[in-house]
Amino acid sequence: MGLNTFPYELLRILATLFFLVIVVYGYFYVKHHKKERTRIIVTEVAILVVLLWIAFFAGKVTTGHPSLFYFGHTQGPFEYGPELPLLSSIDFLKNMGRFEKVEEIGYDPSLVPAPIDRDHSEHISIDLEAVEVIGEVTDGTTFNYWTFNKQVPGPLIRVRVGDTVTVNLKNAMSSLHTHSVDFHATTGPGGGAKVLQVPPGETKSLTWKALAPGVYIYHCASKHSVGAHNAHGQYGLIVVEPEEGYSKVDKEFYVVQGELYTRGNTGDRGLVAFDSQAMLDERPNYVIFNGRVKSLNGRMKASVGDTVRIFVGNAGVAKISSFHVIGEIFDNVHHEGGTLINHNVQSTVVPAGGATIVEFDLEVPGDYILVDHSLARMDKGAWGVLSVDGEENHEIFKSHEAESSETDSPH
């Protein structure tokens, strides 16, 4: 399977330049061949076209560049000014060859570290690498993701309350941008991001103590738009287990909702560019679980009789998730990832930059679809399948069609 990385953005740039050349050529042609009146009309049209062109690109930012404003100024905490249209696109296209193309951008939801089995605190060392890559959002559509360890979300990290954690953040030599990490489980300036601003090719470290149990987002928080780094895929979850640990379950999964803001429409083919105006407008083209469309499918499997736990995060950057599993009721929800546990919940709110734990028993086999119950987002990719095998339980769920076909069968 080859990744479709055709840079349609390049066509956009060429078309724009060609359009301008035509306008200029038309102007000079008319100047030398037509009468005065026509020349004035053409001049006016040309000026109008240029103005329309500026209006079209004003406020848009293209592939991969964290600056957001062409003709405006951020009102955020970090100062940066306007830049010329298309420059960031050209910069990206110039450097496209340096980005690794990853076959699987979506982190496997079944890869969860084993529960912690110790009764004392330890010093844990975590290595994260910020890598800018090209990965597949959906069939035929690729995007310049910024990642921790080349997948989205970054790895699920599991520690115990009271542990001391040393984070070594390396930024790959191939990166175009400074990256960082803010652990919501950390107490201190920037959740670590203040210290861990790492330019390409460098490594920085920070040691912090896990003071409170829970499930926490970590994400890149680099200056020049923290939101843009999140919207390129730089986030993950860290679980800080309570002293007594969590209850024993049969299967644990790791799911993080995120958003992608791309130029053009949902489902456009080829290498699609980042659209910062769409991000500022909070209008994602993709809302996805684990980095890409259908990332969970075929990788979340359980059996009837299992108790399942899902660590659910929501990276945002804009939308609140109404997390729901179609055909199931959560027996336990660790509300917002904290110590309050609610029971018998259909959908639970996961705020942007928040997380939760849901637990449920499986009584009936079949496919269970995980969604953000803002259901229009399903069409943007916000769904995934938990496949459950095992014996039917007709006391709990019985299809009348199944009944008649069973009667017909020789069995």
Where does this chain bind Cu ion (CB under 5 A)? 179, 220, 222, 229, 234
Kindly tell me which of 229 and 251 has the beta carbon lying closer to Cu ion.
229
Kindly tell me which of 30 and 206 has the beta carbon lying closer to Cu ion.
206
Q: What is the rounded end-to-end Cα distance, in angstroms, of the chain?
A: 43
- CA dist., res. 338 & res. 346, Å (int): 18
**CB of residue 178 vs Cu ion: minimum separation in angstroms?**
7
b/e string for 30-67 if b means 16 or more Cβ within 10 A?
Answer: beeeeeeeebeebeeebeeeeeeeeeebebbbbbbbbb
Alpha helices in 87-151 (DSSP H): 87-94
- CA dist., res. 270 & res. 287, Å (int): 18
**CB of residue 229 vs Cu ion: minimum separation in angstroms?**
3
Kindly tell me which of 179 and 263 has the beta carbon lying closer to Cu ion.
179
**CB of residue 179 vs Cu ion: minimum separation in angstroms?**
3
DSSP-assigned beta bridge partners for residue 7: none
Kindly tell me which of 220 and 278 has the beta carbon lying closer to Cu ion.
220
Structure tokens at 400: 């009348």
**CB of residue 132 vs Cu ion: minimum separation in angstroms?**
9
**CB of residue 227 vs Cu ion: minimum separation in angstroms?**
11
**CB of residue 152 vs Cu ion: minimum separation in angstroms?**
12
Kindly tell me the burial class for residue 373, based on how many C-beta atoms sit within 10 Å of its own C-beta (0-12, 13-18, 19 or more).
middle
Nearest residue to Cu ion, by Cβ distance, number only: 220
Cβ-contact 160, 121 below 8 angstroms: yes
- CA dist., res. 59 & res. 72, Å (int): 7
Kindly tell me which of 234 and 266 has the beta carbon lying closer to Cu ion.
234
* Count of beta carbons in the 10 Å neighbourhood of residue 345: 18
Is the preceding peptide bond at 153 cis, omega within 30 degrees of 0? Answer: yes
Kindly tell me which of 65 and 377 has the beta carbon lying closer to Cu ion.
65
